[in-house]
Amino acid sequence: MTANKNIPVVLLLAGLSVLFWQSGAGASELRLRKELVKQQANRALIATHGRFDHVKSTVNGLDADCDLHAPVRVDEIKVAVVSEFMNACSTGLKPAQAEGLTQNDAAEIVGVFRIWFEHPGKKDDVLTEEEELAPYTTSNPAHAIEIHPVVRAGGQDFFTAIGPIEKEGKQYKAKGPTQLRMLLKRKVTIQEFDGQDGDLYVSVESGCCLANYFRLDAVLTSAPKKTEDGHLATVDIVLGQTVVTRGLRLFSIAGTAADTALKPLKKNAKLTFWGITRMDGKKVLQALEDSPGESIPIPLEFVLLAVEE
């Protein structure tokens, strides 16, 4: 049998690709005021005041996640922010309707605050609150902050859109334990510095393209406790009898069916849930003390979107 001389090269390239993906090589940097991170560290939502700008002209289909992307310029956050409306492909929300929510004047926009490097721009890009925010020219400006999902905008509520991603009896294929294991291998670098404007800043460096929506099995390791805008529990993520990861925070949003389902559960309860990822603000702040400037595993938590019966 003739040996395939290409196999070592293919394996080497695959190995380098995995190493590149896990290490966060080609990282972008986000610089946020430390006060903002502290303000949001132990809650699900942020309430802002602003305008939608360059709303995407089409809603994502179910295979792409069913969201409507709506970049937003808000007073409270001085870097690019993209908001997203969940289940827009099934609720019938149109881009023009979303844009119209703030068309006449800036309005309140409330949703899940996410530090998350899904589309942070090019390698070595720095997204910082120290500089004036440039005008948006696209529906997907380079960003590492999202208000996603939106639960209220321009006086209209979207709480009922928070749930499994589905349309006409079909469900979006959310990520699962395999993708979670890969995500947990990602590395970030977190440190504190004095900004040019005199404020204290938190710097987060990460590679791009982090996944959003997961459907997972979990065991509660603490009973849910009330927060300012919902409830908070800790969970172990499991696959059958195997523990995938331990002690992740899970926030719920008051006014959603998911919050109603989570609230009465006791410690050691088992559940299958839909969740959206974000960086754990409490662990981000702790990293400033414990491992400043070091490459560490991504500090991950979930915001609860649905609990399956």
Contact, 183 vs 298, CB < 8 A? yes
Average pLDDT, the chain: 92
Q: Which pLDDT score is estimated for 13?
A: 34
**CATH top class, domain 177-307:** mainly beta
CA distance 183 to 185: 5
Contact, 117 vs 25, CB < 8 A? no
**Cβ atoms within 10 A of the Cβ of 218, count?**
23
* Residue 60 CB-density burial (10 A; 0-12 exposed, 13-18 middle, 19+ buried): middle
Q: What is the DSSP letter of 26?
A: S
Mean pLDDT confidence for 31-38: 98
Q: 28: closest CA among 117, 129, 124?
A: 124
State residue 107 phi and psi, 5-degree precision: -140, 170
- Whether 22 has a pLDDT exceeding 90, the answer reads no
CA distance 24 to 144: 14
Digit-coded pLDDT (tens) for 126-173: 999 999 999 999 999 999 999 999 999 999 999 999 999 999 999 999
Q: Which pLDDT score is estimated for 249?
A: 98
Q: How confident is the model at residue 20 (pLDDT cuts 50, 70, 90)?
A: very low
Structure tokens at 207: 């590679």
Q: How confident is the model at residue 87 (pLDDT cuts 50, 70, 90)?
A: very high
Q: What is the pTM of this model?
A: 0.91
Structure tokens at 115: 């530090």
- Whether 14 has a pLDDT exceeding 70, the answer reads no
Mean pLDDT confidence for 18-44: 80
Query: Within the chain, which residue ranges are assigned CATH 2.40.50.140?
Result: 177-307
Query: Can you spell out the DSSP letters for 27-52?
Result: -EEEEEEHHHHHHHTT-SEEEEEEEE
Q: Which pLDDT score is estimated for 196?
A: 85
Q: Which pLDDT score is estimated for 244?
A: 98
- Compute the CA torsion angle 262, 76, 30, 95 (nearest 10 deg): 70
Instruction: Looking at the structure, give the CATH architecture of the domain made up of residues 33-171.
Output: Beta Barrel (2.40)
